[in-house]
Amino acid sequence: MKGDYQDLVDEISALLGAPATLENRDFRLIAFGAHDSDDDLAMDPVRTRSILTRQSTADVRSWFEGFGIARATGPVRIPAAPEAGVFRGRICLPVRYRGIVQGYVWLLDQEPGRPGPGPAALDAAMEVAQRIGVLLAEEAKAGADLSREFLAVLTAGRGWQQDMAVAALRVALGAGGDGLHAAVCVTPWPGEAPASVPGAAAVCVVPRRVGSGPGSAGPGTGAGAGPGPDTAGEPALAVLLRLRSTDALTPALAAVARLLPRAAEATGTDGKGAGAPAAGGGAGAPAVTAATAAARGVTAGVADPVRGLAELPAAWEQAVAAARAAAAQPRLGPVAQWSAIGPYRMLASLAADPVDDPAARTLLTPANRELARTAEVFLDCAGQAGRAAAALGIHRQTLYYRLGRVEQLTGLDLDEGEDRLLLHMALKAARLT
């Protein structure tokens, strides 16, 4: 499909005599024409960033959308704005399908005093843009149409039912089914799946589970099914990202991050439960960012890339684990990769029920929150008292006093390795719940 886009972008470049770039409606780069100009202004900061990072910033997007490109049905000329990094004017060709904008083709306009492309050339270029719109719409529709097959793979349990679900999804994806993919979990996710996600082969919403933990009787689960979206049973958005190579995962994470604000705005959650008004909400409030979405309890997890679909169920469990870890440990989020969540790779695969180990039960009560935090920091610092005291901002003697209280409450000996391991696991697992 990418080759088709590239050919069409090159066709527009030839028609208008200027290098063109194609972005989807989220301003994510899809294809761009070759540059053979020695003109320094041909690669202003905005264009350079778009090509190198394959996306534009929110400020750039707002600037261009201010000229009505999302509503336009024909070419839109946008003047230069050096203060915004736009050193050359642009011609924007909106890419539409059945009246709905699918993306934009961008060209550098000629400098003042030099003739630009004429009406006939622009009309021909718009015809090519319409062909691009058909391709983008078909791609988005294909991903949406596969939601049932994708959901079946994620909820079929193990054994022959899962094998059949994977086979059905492989047939639906065609030749692309044998390519490289990464599973993504965004939770919580309200409502329906988005109409399209850049770079996605399929998307679906995994519904709220009735139970928790392995083998729970949630919707669509079978005996021996893996953990659902998270311990609270929140619905999750599942995305099957299509990758060209393992290196392509990094830029794909930007598209994942853009899903978080949409979930946070739709739920209106501020971290105190769905339905609470979003902080700073109301008319004129600033847009929710991925970071603030994570602060409100919306996180995403990304699995390691897999080739083909046989390992997709295991990849989904990785994505779920990473999303849970991002919610438990803010330094990992808001979008956490499974390969980077450390001990949570093991902890998240354990039973999802709340921690109730007899040794840690009293320590994990609200009355002992500060002692629990002290013990966790001490263990995070590998039992080095000096580091732990500095991290907590307390005197070393205060640290020793608190650790003594921890030992009294738990009955554990923090000089013993296995006791330390038990307490450390209990404290980390408690974060996941």
Helix, coil or strand: residue 187: strand
- Could you give the CA distance from residue 329 to residue 247 in angstroms, rounded to a whole number? 26
Query: How many residues comprise the chain?
Result: 433
Read off the DSSP letter of residue 325: H
Is residue 123 within 8 A of residue 38, CB to CB? The reply is no
Q: Does the CA dihedral 9-10-13-15 come out positive or negative?
A: negative
- Could you give the CA distance from residue 418 to residue 423 in angstroms, rounded to a whole number? 9
**Identity at 370, one-letter amino acid code:** E
- Could you give the CA distance from residue 236 to residue 320 in angstroms, rounded to a whole number? 9
CATH number attached to the domain at 366-432: 1.10.10.2840
**Identity at 95, one-letter amino acid code:** V
pLDDT of res. 355 = 65
pLDDT of res. 232 = 45
pLDDT of res. 348 = 76
pLDDT of res. 377 = 95
Beta strand residue intervals within 161-252, DSSP E: 180-187, 200-206, 236-243
Helix, coil or strand: residue 217: coil
pLDDT of res. 217 = 33
**Identity at 199, one-letter amino acid code:** G
Query: Rounded to the nearest 5°, which phi and psi values hold at 76?
Result: -125, 125
Burial class (CB in 10 A: 0-12, 13-18, 19+), 217: exposed
- Could you give the CA distance from residue 174 to residue 157 in angstroms, rounded to a whole number? 23
pLDDT of res. 433 = 72
Helix, coil or strand: residue 55: strand
Burial class (CB in 10 A: 0-12, 13-18, 19+), 165: buried
pLDDT of res. 96 = 92
Helix, coil or strand: residue 354: coil
pLDDT tens-place values along the chain, 433 residues long: 455 788 899 999 999 988 889 998 878 888 877 655 555 444 555 555 555 444 566 677 778 888 999 899 999 998 887 776 667 788 999 999 888 888 999 998 776 666 678 899 999 999 999 999 988 887 766 655 788 899 999 988 778 888 999 999 988 888 778 889 999 999 989 878 876 677 888 899 998 653 333 333 333 333 333 434 443 467 899 999 988 887 778 777 877 888 887 777 665 544 444 333 333 333 333 345 666 776 678 899 999 999 989 899 999 999 999 998 998 888 887 899 999 998 888 887 665 566 678 888 899 999 999 999 999 999 999 999 999 999 999 999 999 999 999 999 999 999 999 999 999 988 988 887 7
- Could you give the CA distance from residue 92 to residue 85 in angstroms, rounded to a whole number? 17
Largest CA distance in the chain: 84
365 token code pair: 């009560």
pLDDT of res. 56 = 62
Neighbour-count burial for 53-91, b at 16+ CB within 10 Å, e otherwise: ebbbeeebbebbeeeebeeeeebbebebeeeebbbbbbb
80 token code pair: 């230069």
Is residue 263 within 8 A of residue 189, CB to CB? The reply is yes
pLDDT of res. 215 = 34
Does 2-140 carry CATH code 3.30.450.40? yes
**Identity at 48, one-letter amino acid code:** T
- Look at residues 96, 109, 88, 79 and name the one whose alpha carbon lies nearest to residue 16: 109
Q: How would you classify the pairing of strands 200-206 and 236-243?
A: antiparallel
Q: What is the pTM of this model?
A: 0.58
Neighbour-count burial for 384-409, b at 16+ CB within 10 Å, e otherwise: eeeebbeebeeeeeebeebbebbbeb
- Could you give the CA distance from residue 177 to residue 39 in angstroms, rounded to a whole number? 43
